Copies of this chain bind each other. A is one copy, B any other.
Amino acid sequence: AGKSDHQPAGLSVDFPVSVVLPAGGTGERTGLRTPKQFCSLLGRPLISYTVQAFERVSWIQSVVVVVAEENMDLMTDVVQRFRHTKVRAVPGGSTRHRSIWNGVLALGEGEGEGAVVIVHDAVRPFVDEDLLYKIATAAKEHGAAGAIRPLVSTVIATTSEGYLDHSLERAKYRASEMPQGFTYDVISRAYQRCSESDFEFGTECLHLALQYCGTNAKLIQGPPTLWKVTYKRDLAAAESIIKDALSRSACVITGGSASGAALAGALREAVGALGTELEVVPDLRGENARCLAKEGNFILVSVGPSRPSEVEALLTELEAANRALLHPLVVIWVHMSDSDELSVSGRAAAVMDLSSAAKLRNILLYGIQLHPSKDAERWERSVSRVAELTSVLIRDRSPALVGQLLQA
């Protein structure tokens, strides 16, 4: 998630790998009515980010998402809207283990021959290819593998009366996380042999593999980003990670004028200091068209009279490049011109008009009005205001501010 410009890691495996993604939770702990895997981050449900994390891994063949019966339509809609191709949704069981087993059964033996099955959580969207590779290859070699993390808190045993009995030595224990991987053989044998009570109350697949197949899973330390989105605050944390990833760079289109290029150069420094790298191009022709495919943020500099047609052209190109499917794109139209009342007002109306159409295409258009000044100090102050506004617009991606013409 937030890695739509993710480079393939060049990893590959010589055995089939599929994923089972139990997504049946009802999300009571977030305090929200929507189950957390369907909560929206920048207009897209969390589950879609998790699915995307697997779809971009070339050596993963298919993803079975196991959802509660009442969410099947919702999931089907997510698959269609965000054009997920490796995904099938199947109905879940009454417990986590029954759901995972349903998912494994849906894979079928055909897909299963010599295969590895990765089990993950729908609410851990930031899993990366490197860890998936380690889990898949370790599972192939050892029969089972699981991600672990150091314990965050000391773990204590309690007496039945609610007093401290003893604390565990932290160094000897780990938190068991997701993803986990199994050979198809191990996970299906474990579920075939396990008891009703395991299906009902068990939580750990690794434990079933040990108990029913004698397989000691290989443990692999994962990064902190593996954490599970559990509470409402975790949604804010996840959104912040996604927004960080989306605001790392932007493309400035200067229009070729000397004053446009001068502004772009000054912005590059100021915005760079705020954390976003700017690539400056005169236009998007030829070589420069690569920006259309690469960037999610565009700053279009206009000098002199407003020409909404420039913005329209950019919006049309972005739409043709189909770049706004998974994340909203940001387009900031920076006008540099003398403050002439009627043109400012006309420009404000133009930004508002253009933005309504763009918003339907998941493109967020904002305007910034910059009044040029011969006074060096005033000019610098204006440029740093443009930089500050630009950074905030790119970082926040606020739909409410779309169409506004801000003053620098």
A interface residues, Cβ below 8 angstroms from B: 29, 142, 144, 146, 148-149, 151-159, 162-168, 170, 172-177, 203-204, 206-207, 210, 216-219, 224, 227-228, 230-231, 233-234, 236-241, 341-342, 344-345, 348, 352, 388-389, 391-392, 396, 398, 400-401, 403-407
Contacts and interface: CB of A to CB of B under 8 A. Distances in A.
A400 B206 CA distance: 50
Contacts of A352: 407
Given A219-B162, A219-B163, A174 B148 contact: no
A156 B163 contact: no
20 contacts: A29-B224, A148-B158, A152-B228, A153-B177, A154-B175, A155-B155, A158-B174, A158-B219, A162-B218, A164-B206, A164-B210, A165-B216, A170-B203, A341-B345, A348-B407, A352-B407, A389-B401, A392-B398, A401-B401, A403-B407
A216 B163 contact: yes
A407 B407 contact: no
B233 A163 contact: no
Copies of this chain present: 2
Contact of A236 (B224, B236, B389): B236
A186 B93 CA distance: 51
A5 B271 CA distance: 37
Contacts of A206: 156, 164, 167
Contacts of A168: 155, 173
B176 A230 contact: no
Nearest to A175: B153
A266 B29 CA distance: 34
A276 B336 CA distance: 37
A251 B386 CA distance: 32
B237 A234 contact: yes
Given A154-B204, A392-B400, 16 more contacts: A142-B163, A146-B164, A153-B177, A153-B228, A156-B173, A159-B216, A162-B218, A164-B210, A165-B216, A167-B176, A236-B236, A236-B241, A237-B240, A341-B345, A401-B401, A403-B407
A400 B407 contact: no
B348 A345 contact: no
Contacts of A146: 164
A218 B163 contact: yes
Contact of A176 (B154, B217, B233, B239): B154
Given A172-B157, A173-B156, A241 B233 contact: yes
Contact of A240 (B142, B163, B236, B406): B236
A32 to B, nearest CB: 12
Q: A156, A166, A170, A206: which has the most chain B beta carbons within 10 Å?
A: A156
Contact of A406 (B164, B344, B345, B401): B401
Given A236-B240, A389-B400, A156 B164 contact: no
Nearest to A210: B164
A205 B56 CA distance: 47
Contacts of A163: 142, 216-219
Contacts of A144: 164
Given A153-B176, A219-B162, A240 B230 contact: no
